[in-house]
């Protein structure tokens, strides 16, 4: 599964909760977390693993943060090979968290079985939903952080994205993206 979304959408938190649920169901989970590299120093924070403290201690989970090192598209130059290595190593679920910062970070969509776009309740209106790029590549759009005071805005954004997705050209004859 590939996961992307804007900063603050809760990608790492979602992966930790989802990953723990999978390991409790006896799956072996690998997480490939891609972090941006600095254009100035070339360094990368690689902080996503620190947000997944419970999952990082789980013996049925493996988390590998990797820097982009200037590669565009939200992944690293070797992400596809890393996915294959994880599968070969016995991990039956591989989660790839992209850099996830904009409309063009969807290279992972061609590497995975399902591409999930995570959005916060304030993820834009229907006009945002029909922009070409990452929205039309998503197999699933998940509105995250939809609790408490954010339930109403989340439902509104969900309805707007459902409407917007109807205007996009279908990528598959058998699957219609869900929101």
Tokens of residue 167, six digits: 């205007």
The CATH number linked to 81 is 3.40.50.300
Over residues 51-80, the pLDDT tens digits come to: 788 999 999 999 988 877 666 556 677 888
Range of the domain at 40: 2-167
What average pLDDT does the structure give for the chain? 82
Of the candidates 47, 60, 53, the one whose C-alpha atom is nearest the C-alpha of residue 21 is 60
Instruction: Inform me whether the pLDDT recorded for 38 exceeds 60.
Output: no
Q: Which residue has the higher pLDDT, 102 or 179?
A: 179
Domain count, the chain: 1
What percentage of the chain has pLDDT greater than the value 70?
A: 78
**Which pLDDT band holds residue 44 (cuts at 50, 70, 90)?**
very low
CA 96 vs CA 32, 35, 100, 106, 175: distances in Å: 5, 11, 11, 11, 21
Cβ atoms of 8 and 120 closer than 8 Å: yes
pTM of the entire structure? Answer: 0.84
Residue 177 lies in a domain: no
Mean per-residue pLDDT, 109-130: 75
């Amino acid at each position: 599964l590939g996961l992307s979304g804007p900063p603050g959408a809760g990608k790492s938190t979602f992966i930790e909760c989802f990953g723990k649920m999978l390991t409790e169901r006896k799956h072996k989970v690998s997480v490939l977390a891609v972090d941006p590299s600095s254009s100035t120093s070339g360094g990368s924070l690689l902080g996503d693993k620190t947000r997944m403290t419970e999952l990082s201690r789980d013996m049925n989970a493996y988390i590998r943060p990797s820097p982009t090192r200037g590669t565009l598209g939200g992944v690293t130059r070797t992400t596809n090979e890393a996915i294959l290595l994880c599968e070969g190593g016995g991990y039956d679920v591989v989660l790839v968290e992209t850099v996830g910062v904009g409309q063009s970070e969807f290279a992972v969509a061609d590497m995975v079985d399902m591409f999930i776009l995570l959005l916060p309740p304030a993820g834009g209106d229907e006009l945002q939903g029909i922009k070409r790029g990452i929205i039309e590549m998503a197999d699933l759009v998940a509105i995250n952080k939809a609790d408490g005071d954010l339930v109403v805005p989340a439902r509104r954004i969900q309805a707007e994205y459902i409407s917007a997705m109807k205007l996009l050209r279908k990528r598959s004859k058998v699957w219609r993206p869900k929101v």
